[in-house]
Amino acid sequence: MLATNVSGYSWPVEAWQRALAWRPDVISAQGTTLDDGAYLLGSDKMYTRGGKLPFRRAMELVLSAAKALGIPAVFSAGDSGHDIGLEGALRVIDEVTAELGIRMRLAVISGELPKSYLLDRLERGVSMPRLIDHPRLSPWLTTEDVVGSTRVVAQMGPEPIMRALEMGVDGVVTGRALDEAPHLALPLLRGFDRGVAAHMAKIVETAQSGGTWRTPHLVTLHRDRFEIQPAHPAQRCTPTSVASVALYERQNPYAIAYPGGVLELDAARYEPVDDVTVAVSGARWRATPYTVKLEGARFAGHRCLGIAGARDPRFIREIDAVLRTVEQAMADGYPGYVSGRDYRFKLHVFGRNAVMEDSEPVQTTASHELGIVVDAVAWDEAVARAICYRGLHTLLMCDYPGRRTTSGNVAWGTSPEVIEAGEAYEFSIHHLLPLDDPCEPFRVEVLDFPRRAAA
């Protein structure tokens, strides 16, 4: 199988052509994520992240290759995987198939759940616990969580894709799905060991085991192991590079929870086959009750940003005093508006602790310059702009111990200095939905592309 990614990344054409020469049995790819935050899910935009162009380029390569080789293409699409994003992906597929002059019958599986479906489950007494202990998330999913969310998606497992592949289609396109699901579906349908297949899917969904993000990989599955190698001739897989992927986004590298089971890797082995290929074996699958992850986002307000740079060593030395002055200026300048209720204001100081904030172990600011991002979110866009503007100008003109300047303390990064960043969203649902039937909540439709020609 040929495993890659279509979520906005690109890959070298040389590697792609080399991969196709191996004549794989399937092209599989991840194309949905919420790594970039709640905006992807909350917004009504069809194309977020890198926009339409990167996905279109991926479709030109994937669809033409699948048609030429007569093999299925299986991938998730639509950035966050909500129905608006999925429709945007289908419009790209319309354009590409029409321009290439090819016809394809694809099964399309929605990953967005109707709110009525979840409300019905709650009324029936189904308990849905949160995945992460966070004050913003209810310990158990509530009616208010569902109603207050802009929309809710679920990370479907491989089973809906497996069912769709049995419909005699040329490929499967899903909305939100488990990252590993597109890679898992055909191997499981063909009877490969679930532990071996799940471990393979975990490795290839990151597509970094060759040392470069999103390099296509060729995978050969056997009864008790799989072998992996990168398509790019300048890359290679090593036991260390492949094994390290198990650490990616995991608290426990030896036990990874999936819908319906846990992938146990404590006995996994990574052995070189040649200079570029690694054989992986030893993974075990332990069945558990079937659950899928629910993801929801709600509107949090309008966001305005400002970017400032500071290089005065006295300003940098007294940055704590400066930040306190700016925070106080918010309360003094708009006494009718309450922080935390009418607006949220934050200063991100890059070069100090912008990444880890209070968890930063380095307490001494050693940078010769600092970048400061003023971040204001408010229900009223005019309030967000006013708060951001006041924060920026307080940074610019405020006094601090040892100050010698008579004009600006900082330099603006943009003009105008206040950047309207649009609507802001926050995660509201991060819960588990138990299912007796893994396919139950997911809607499947078989469509002929290009749809204009079918119509």
> Do residues 403 and 322 touch, judged by C-beta distance below 8 A?
no
Q: Which amino acid is at 6?
A: V
pLDDT of residue 9: 64
Report residue 8's pLDDT band, with 50, 70 and 90 as the boundaries.
Answer: low
Q: Which residues contact 87 (CB under 8 A, 6 or more apart)?
A: 46, 78
Q: Which residues contact 163 (CB under 8 A, 6 or more apart)?
A: 439, 444
Across 344-357, average pLDDT: 94
pLDDT of residue 234: 86
Report residue 219's pLDDT band, with 50, 70 and 90 as the boundaries.
Answer: very high
CA distance 357 to 73: 43
For residue 118, the surrounding DSSP H or E stretch is: helix 115-123
pLDDT over 70 at 455, yes or no: no
| Residue whose entry in the numeric block shows the structure tokens 């396919």 | 439
Query: Cβ–Cβ contacts within 10 Å for residue 270, how many?
Result: 22
CA distance 86 to 107: 12
Report residue 213's pLDDT band, with 50, 70 and 90 as the boundaries.
Answer: very low
Q: What proportion of the chain, given as a percentage, has pLDDT over 90?
A: 82
Beta bridge partners of 172: 74, 107
pLDDT of residue 245: 82
For residue 420, the surrounding DSSP H or E stretch is: strand 419-434
pLDDT of residue 118: 98
Tens-digit pLDDT profile for residues 243-263: 988 777 778 889 999 999 999
Tens-digit pLDDT profile for residues 351-405: 999 999 989 999 888 899 999 999 999 999 999 999 999 999 999 999 999 998 8
| Residue whose entry in the numeric block shows the structure tokens 């339409």 | 52
Q: Which letter, b or e, does each residue of 46-63 get, where b requires 16 or more Cβ atoms within 10 Å of its Cβ?
A: bbbbeeeebbbbbbbbbb
Structural domains of the chain sorted by starting position, each given as residue range(s) with its CATH number in brackets: 2-111+156-290+435-454 (no CATH), 298-427 (3.30.70)
> Do residues 112 and 130 touch, judged by C-beta distance below 8 A?
no
Chain CA centroid to CA 278, Å = 27
Tens-digit pLDDT profile for residues 262-313: 999 999 999 999 999 999 999 999 999 999 999 999 999 999 999 999 999 9
In terms of pTM, does the model score above 0.75?
yes
pLDDT of residue 5: 86
Taking CA atoms, 235 is separated from 217, 227, 281, 418, 453, in Å, by 10, 15, 22, 44, 41
Q: Which residues contact 82 (CB under 8 A, 6 or more apart)?
A: 41, 111, 112, 151, 153, 175, 176
Across 410-429, average pLDDT: 96
pLDDT of residue 333: 77
Across 29-51, average pLDDT: 92
pLDDT over 70 at 208, yes or no: no
Tens-digit pLDDT profile for residues 177-200: 999 999 999 999 999 999 999 999
Report residue 454's pLDDT band, with 50, 70 and 90 as the boundaries.
Answer: very low
pLDDT of residue 332: 80
pLDDT over 70 at 453, yes or no: no
pLDDT of residue 339: 84
Across 200-216, average pLDDT: 70
pLDDT of residue 178: 97
pLDDT over 90 at 233, yes or no: no
CA torsion 360→366→371→373, rounded to 10°?
Answer: 30
pLDDT over 50 at 212, yes or no: no
